[in-house]
Structure 1
Amino acid sequence: MSVETKTTCPYCGVGCGVVAAVADTGTVTVKGDPDHPANFGRLCSKGSALTETIDLDGRVLYPEISGQRDDWERALDLVAQRFSQAIVEHGPDSVAFYVSGQLLTEDYYVANKLMKGFIGSANIDTNSRLCMASSVAGHRRAFGADTVPGTYEDLELADLVILTGSNLAWCHPVLYQRLAAAKAERPEMKIVVIDPRRTMTCDIADLHLAIKPDGDVALFMGLLAHLAGTGAVDAVYVAAHTKGFDEAVAAAAGLSEPELTMRTGLPAQELQRFFRLFEQTPKTVTCFSQGVNQSSSGTDKVNAIINCHLATGRIGRPGMGPFSLTGQPNAMGGREVGGLANMLAAHMAIENENDRERVQRFWTSPTMAAKPGLKAVDMFKAVADGRIKALWIMATNPVVSMPDADFVEAAIRDCTFVVVSDVLRHTDTTRHAHVLLPSLGWGEKDGTVTNSERRISRQRGFLPPPGEARADWWQMSEVARRMGFDGFNYASPAEIFAEHAALSAFENNGRSDFDIGAYGDIDDNAYNRLAPFQWPQPVGAVRHTSRFFAEGGFYHPDSKARFIAIEVPATTARTDARYPLTLNTGRIRDHWHTMTRTGKSARLSSHIAEPFAEFHPRDATELGLSAADLVELESPSGTVITRVLISERQASGSVFVPMHWNDQFAAKARIDALVPPLTDPVSGQPAAKNVAIAARRFSARVYGFAVSAGKPSVSATDYWAIAKADGGWRTELAFRDTVEDWTDWCRDTFGIPTDVEPLGYADRQSGEQRLAFFDADKLLAAIFLARQPVAVARNWAIGQLQSSHSDLRKRFAIIAGRPGADQPDPGATVCSCYSIGVNRIVAAIRGGCHSVEAVGKETNAGTNCGSCRAEIRGIIDGCLAAAAE
């Protein structure tokens, strides 16, 4: 028997429903919730692997003060005392909260209420500043509110879907599968991908526009001018529901065709093809994500997109509209409660005196923040220069994720008082905490999240709290009470949600888009039964549509939308002779943010196990780089070391590096250490997609690959990258100098007992050396060393950790570094869901499986979440092309 709990996934902004089942034995399994309207039962590779990330290994299980175990009373008293002292001595702006889209809405609400309504400062910002702030700013400029007009269904109903700055296949996989299924059902649907890289999303695209970094403003300005010149403008809609059209068109028309081509890097014929597609396809949805937002012109990009939809009246109707895709599970929920430094709760404006007064009366608070607080980049500058004396970081890892990451780490390290609430003991940020508070993780905490289509869903706990871990809302409420504030005596998250809902309706009367007043009196029982719903849900009203703005009704005082007259950025190129390449950072398929969760899963690490830099072949040749080399990347802010990946998918002159790796998993791979603190002037969002860097080969005398049953101690090695593997760990290594005694090195690194002698092989001429250590029939560790990047069947070697080695011949096979005829090598993992390697897929293709569906039927690859289907199709195309030569 097992008990099932309906909850939601803690990863991206799709907000998939999950059914978690706990068996009598305590075993947990997960599956997609077939009734949840976001995913209808689908899960991606990360969601499917959730049970592999909920163990207690590395968890913070009790409060710590100065690195030593303590109790809640002393820890909370100390936090309250130090924050209160800073406020008394230096004023309310001397303290700050840095929070996260990983928090539940109830946590977010309490944090915002405490900081803005009781401490009296707006110095609360969130890691959503790094992903969605430009969308928020663009929405507010155009609509008068942070409103996402459409729904996921619009992607399936549209005849043209534009994906700009969005690798949907890897970053929002379930939404990608919904779109792919819709196109398979209606092949006449057109999909355009706008991205400097040819990502896996391009697998279903009819047109890929390989735009220059930050060329989006010019592209959509050109589109607006084209629409105005071809009669595609909905003059009735524009006249009735908008302002500023003429000014916006005049600004767009000032961009000449040669300049448009130069700014975008796109041939004139490609531009015209795109423009005509948009012009001639009324049912058009434009989805945008980090490639648009993470820019010094991100807000203008958003408004350039919205301008085109307003001009054609393609908004708020089925299959039409601009659509912002959020990156985190509760980025939207944080925006609803005012989690950003320049917002108030319930989508009210902190700069509006009437809004501030209304919120203060509702909270009966002693003081209210009178101005916007410090946005993320400026907040950490204030930490560095001493203006902020006390900092509380919750559920995020800014030492990895913030731009100029080394500067941010130094600022946190030198801050007089730092509190960190987290689930893991060891992160790049927790190592600098004066007080470390143990929070509840996914499967333990209880509350709500809001996805990209404004759908509020419950996240329910189905596991007992481990150790002394407590909810984030409880931690903040306890500190608030100790600081002498009333209004924080919450007994459950249901009480907080009810207050949040009641505030959204308080004196609203239709003035604000966000209104969930229908839930203002919800009790614990109703809260526990709460089904997913989209806002708005006002008191006593039945909303007949789930979309906004088809008939106008915008949230500016005159109810009209605003066209924004945009100027093309003065320059988009940041490179120079010293830093000639453009860095583009982003996500990969199977990892999430800074890997504090996904790094626990061997399955998720099997697809890509170490940080990499993706180069175009031409750039690699010019730099003297070969596949699998190591490369050192440098900007004025710092340096990193990664593996080289050479790919035609990458644009020449650009380098792509994922943002996930950190000091817990690699020697020097915090890529945001290279990103400067350059921000959009409107949104304050950092620019992470257009960074000038230099690259040079990392010279090593010895390269290594190792597998071990225990976690290795490799921090002193010049280059290392570790990852969980079935049965232990896998490690990539490189050394600037050779090691005198590799046996002793292995004993120290892998914890090998002195009485265990290695089985070894060495070739002085080639420089190859291999050592393996066994305890009875179990492999403890094996290392493969060479003068060049090590060529070894990695997945086969990893599999030896769980094999029996009583047969001496199998031990020698490890030393040989390749499997025998009876042990086929699966090859590099392609399908993480079923751990299917490339060699097995190639074998199926050679056996006659010439479609993704046929390969799936033969191997199961691509039949669960579907995130690997594009990669499988590429392998098929490559095999068939080779066979035809």
Structure 2
Amino acid sequence: MEIDEAREVRTTCPYCGVGCGVLAKVAADGGVTVRGDPDHPANFGRLCSKGSALAETIDLDGRLLYPEIHGRRTGWDEALDVIASTFSRTIAEHGPDAVAFYVSGQLLTEDYYVANKLMKGFIGTANIDTNSRLCMASSVAGHRRAFGSDTVPGSYEDLELADLIVLVGSNLAWCHPVLYQRIAAAREKRPDMKVVLIDPRRTMTSDLADMHLAIAPDGDVALFTGLLAYLGKNDVLDRAYIAAHTTGFDDAIAAASALDPAGIAAATGLGEDELARFYGLFAATAKTVTVYSQGVNQSSSGTNKVNAIINCHLATGRIGRPGGGPFSVTGQPNAMGGREVGGMANMLAAHMEIENPGHRDRVQRFWSAPAVAEKPGLKAVEMFQAVADGRIKALWIMATNPVDSMPDADAVEAAIKACPFVVVSDVMAKTDTVRHAHVRLPATAWGEKDGTVTNSERRISRQRAFLPAPGEARPDWRMIAEVARRMGFGEAFSHASPAEIFAEHAALSAFENDGVRDFDIGAYAGIDTAGYDVLAPFQWPASSLMEGDVQAQKGIQTGRTPPATRFFANGNFYTPDRKARFIAIRPTAQTRISPDFPLVLNTGRVRDHWHTMTRTGKSPRLSQHMAEPFVEIHPADAQHFGIGDADIVRVSTAHGDVLLRALVTARQRPGSVFVPMHWTDQFSARARVDALVAPITDAISGQPASKNGAAGVERFTAVAFGFAVLAERPASIDADYWSLARCAAGWRLELALKAGRDWPAFAASLLGADALGETLAYHDVAGGHYRFARFAGSHLAGALYLAPKPVAVSRSWAVEQLNMDHADRRGRLAIVAGRPSGNRVDRGAIVCSCFGVGANQIAEAVRGGCTSVEAIGATLHAGTNCGSCRAEIRTIIDGRNLQAAE
């Protein structure tokens, strides 16, 4: 792209729910660089490793650029006509409940709003659900039960004001790194701040913790009901707050007292002394924030966990006050925006309730809709079960990849394959879901999209386009509106821009509100395109745009009191009596293990990858840190099952099995294994871990239980292991286990095979064998070692190393050879040897993605006298950019886990 001069655009990061501001600079030659926006109140210039690498993910490689019908390129008119006519015909023949939308927290609020309006207001069914069901539904349900609304009470500022932060099922260091950095910075200024980590795993977040409670999976209800009982027994209660602003306290205390300390210890897997220390610390610290995420939500008891936490804050009046409150942090950039527009199947727009006739009537009148869905639709797991049994006959999947991310993923894939009509709108041409679509629609990606997102602290920010839409890609809202028009709803979907959609969304939030609903951004109901273009980040509620607020948006200091950023310090909840509800909760047994499946499977995220890798998989540096799928297993369990470090392991449940690399580490809780969720059929042979997860859901929220499933492990017996570096991605890989990852000038490939091959022929299939190139080879037939290096001119086309055990070749060095000139024939022999010649240092496994610093380099610097993270940063720069690797650097310095780091 050629432009006249460089320009910098303020936008928002498309990864987690922190909602960091990003400055994207487009150079005159079209090159893009990104940096954190120092003026954005979510991050103040900080970015994590993923955000820092955003410019590496915006290329057009693999992009879906044109509409397709049954794999045939077509025009937009034909594609949209087919979608509209098929949906209309399906509704006419089978009723509105025979169609469904499955949407995503990757959509912008404007996309979400239009999709929700079409489905619930004009098609007349609530069969629209979102992948946010998989991460935040229990939090929504808990909020609604306690507060009468889906309200996050606090702000990020509370994390810096608190004297105690309790992190529950939340690996902030890897999953919300900028919040982790904000807490770490605050603690440096106030060393008396305390942090408690409650997590079965000793994650990298434990680096910040004064206390780590290695709780048993799903022990959280027992832990926090026990805490409530402790607070009552020791009279650490705000009785005035309880009396004035809550109901149900006596029943909640009575239920919480069902277990004595020994019972709580048994249910949580914690010692009574650990419980006493935590309970005493919570009781003694008025300014306490409890941050929770997927470890709480992704459970069959997720909603009860949320309410058990909220109960403790209500009982002590620690809510809505500076430095105090329960705080749900979201996993996706616009999970909150989706909640605001009613993106879930059991919600209406503007935080109204689909079960409430008055709310339905209000929305119907505002939209001038023919009818509004009268009952909740099918939640995600139920939705795909309905696809499987034929109740849903037409399905539109937007900006998500359920074949990989849904529980019981193989069954979900089979359902989609059998569905009579499937539309997928996506950025990438090849995902495990896109391949099953009858109609494929090219969507605009980050950098091309224009709209808003809402972060975990209710802050709405603009995501602005700084690149042109490639090919024929279109924004999601425009696709949906065009289909709506073709279905006969043109007048209601005549929006010309996202600014118009946002204004309508804002107007609905204020419509007949008068303070009875929490979500109100009516101040922006009259916004025009010019105002939308310069819209600064703001927190809701924003119910009236007074003169001072207008000036504040323009950056003028007025001396006015800023709008409220916290809820509920003085009560005023959104229940009928305006009082919060304590929820009486009794701990229930959660253990699901059996002799056949004796371990607990926990799934989650890693630091440098995101969801199903459609974006981060493009970045070489993000693929350096964790280059292949793995299973974390405690040394005692590894020994019991005969598994060694770097072995290939078969992990199985009643629903299927996967093959993964073993990472033996004491950070894992005994009796449990952890597997990341990111790897798909595009990047590995058999690592779609959600195929193992049972479709068990929370009865209230419908959220799947992705953190506690029964599993078994066994060593996969391989006769050969392999490692390769390749300039080009291979068309096919004939191996039982393989994992492919980007590197600076090509690809890196890990292999394992249970039977031998004709190894020269196998090498040729991966490296190529044209007559113009040259192949050097080394064969040790007796020892089972084979090495091949293929050169095209002076460049390395690829190298393959095979051995009877995991290949002991320096990965980082081998990857670098794809970028080197190899005209010197003697130097080519070093590639066959698989090790650097001379005094070159092997960096080891990459720890700092930003600067490409490896574990061996850090260890060498420690041996040279660097005894702090700051000293390592001064010597190697590692940890000085995004800071996401600082915990791992400290681990290496302390010598606690150097073997696992390597």
**Short-chain TM bin:** over 0.9
Which of 794, 807, 811 does residue 794 from structure 1 map onto? 811
Match status 1:147 vs 2:151: yes
Aligned residue number for residue 308 of structure 1: 312
Which of 357, 362, 374 does residue 358 from structure 1 map onto? 362
Match status 1:562 vs 2:566: no
Matches within 5 A, 1:251-650: 251-485=255-489, 486-540=491-545, 544-569=563-588, 571-650=589-668
Question: Shift of residue 131 of structure 1?
Answer: 0.2
Q: Which moved more, 1:181-190 or 1:589-598?
A: 181-190
Quote the Cα distance in structure 2 between the aligned partners of 1:858 and 1:716. 43
Question: Shift of residue 716 of structure 1?
Answer: 3.3
Please tell me whether the aligned partners of residues 166 and 195 of structure 1 are also in contact (alpha carbons under 8 angstroms).
yes
Quote the Cα distance in structure 2 between the aligned partners of 1:296 and 1:744. 50
Please tell me whether the aligned partners of residues 109 and 500 of structure 1 are also in contact (alpha carbons under 8 angstroms).
yes
Partner SS, residue 515 of structure 1: coil
Quote the Cα distance in structure 1 between the aligned partners of 2:75 and 2:563. 52
Which of 665, 670, 684 does residue 683 from structure 2 map onto? 665
C-alpha offsets along residues 338-392 of structure 1, whole Å, 9 cap, x if unaligned? 0000000000000000000000000001111000000000000000000000000
Please tell me whether the aligned partners of residues 159 and 190 of structure 1 are also in contact (alpha carbons under 8 angstroms).
yes
C-alpha offsets along residues 75-123 of structure 1, whole Å, 9 cap, x if unaligned? 0000001100110000000000000000000000000000000000000
Quote the Cα distance in structure 2 between the aligned partners of 1:748 and 1:674. 32
Aligned residue number for residue 729 of structure 1: 747
Please tell me whether the aligned partners of residues 296 and 679 of structure 1 are also in contact (alpha carbons under 8 angstroms).
yes
Aligned residue number for residue 827 of structure 1: 844
Question: Shift of residue 735 of structure 1?
Answer: 1.2
Which of 784, 788, 792 does residue 767 from structure 1 map onto? 784
Please tell me whether the aligned partners of residues 160 and 281 of structure 1 are also in contact (alpha carbons under 8 angstroms).
yes
Question: Shift of residue 847 of structure 1?
Answer: 1.4
Question: Shift of residue 468 of structure 1?
Answer: 0.1
Matches within 5 A, 1:13-162: 13-162=17-166
Aligned residue number for residue 552 of structure 2: none
Question: Shift of residue 151 of structure 1?
Answer: 0.2
Partner SS, residue 101 of structure 2: strand
Quote the Cα distance in structure 2 between the aligned partners of 1:473 and 1:754. 52
Aligned residue number for residue 213 of structure 2: 209
Question: Shift of residue 881 of structure 1?
Answer: 11
Quote the Cα distance in structure 1 between the aligned partners of 2:876 and 2:147. 49
Quote the Cα distance in structure 1 between the aligned partners of 2:898 and 2:387. 57
Aligned residue number for residue 866 of structure 1: 883
Partner SS, residue 545 of structure 1: coil
RMSD after superposition:
1.1
* TM-score, normalised via structure 2 length: 0.97
Matches within 5 A, 1:184-203: 184-203=188-207
Pairs aligned (count): 880
Question: Shift of residue 764 of structure 1?
Answer: 2.1
Partner SS, residue 142 of structure 1: helix
Aligned residue number for residue 851 of structure 1: 868
Match status 1:221 vs 2:218: no
Quote the Cα distance in structure 1 between the aligned partners of 2:605 and 2:43. 21
Q: Which runs of 5+ in 1 are unaligned?
A: none
Match status 1:674 vs 2:692: yes
Q: Which runs of 5+ in 2 are unaligned?
A: 550-561
Partner SS, residue 231 of structure 1: coil
* TM-score, normalised via structure 1 length: 0.99
Partner SS, residue 476 of structure 1: helix
Please tell me whether the aligned partners of residues 155 and 319 of structure 1 are also in contact (alpha carbons under 8 angstroms).
yes
Partner SS, residue 749 of structure 2: strand
Aligned residue number for residue 173 of structure 1: 177
Question: Shift of residue 184 of structure 1?
Answer: 1.2
Which of 242, 248, 253 does residue 252 from structure 2 map onto? 248
Question: Shift of residue 540 of structure 1?
Answer: 4.6
Question: Shift of residue 762 of structure 1?
Answer: 1.2
Question: Shift of residue 754 of structure 1?
Answer: 3.9
Please tell me whether the aligned partners of residues 629 and 661 of structure 2 are also in contact (alpha carbons under 8 angstroms).
yes
Aligned residue number for residue 559 of structure 2: none
Partner SS, residue 606 of structure 1: helix
Please tell me whether the aligned partners of residues 542 and 563 of structure 2 are also in contact (alpha carbons under 8 angstroms).
no
Please tell me whether the aligned partners of residues 713 and 750 of structure 1 are also in contact (alpha carbons under 8 angstroms).
no
Question: Shift of residue 755 of structure 1?
Answer: 4.1
Aligned residue number for residue 717 of structure 2: 699
Quote the Cα distance in structure 2 between the aligned partners of 1:715 and 1:72. 36
Partner SS, residue 632 of structure 2: strand
Quote the Cα distance in structure 1 between the aligned partners of 2:292 and 2:74. 46
Partner SS, residue 636 of structure 2: helix
Please tell me whether the aligned partners of residues 842 and 879 of structure 1 are also in contact (alpha carbons under 8 angstroms).
no
Question: Shift of residue 544 of structure 1?
Answer: 3.7
Question: Shift of residue 277 of structure 1?
Answer: 0.4
Quote the Cα distance in structure 2 between the aligned partners of 1:623 and 1:827. 28
Please tell me whether the aligned partners of residues 498 and 521 of structure 1 are also in contact (alpha carbons under 8 angstroms).
yes
Quote the Cα distance in structure 1 between the aligned partners of 2:891 and 2:873. 14
Which of 718, 724, 749 does residue 736 from structure 2 map onto? 718
Quote the Cα distance in structure 2 between the aligned partners of 1:183 and 1:307. 27
Please tell me whether the aligned partners of residues 733 and 766 of structure 2 are also in contact (alpha carbons under 8 angstroms).
no
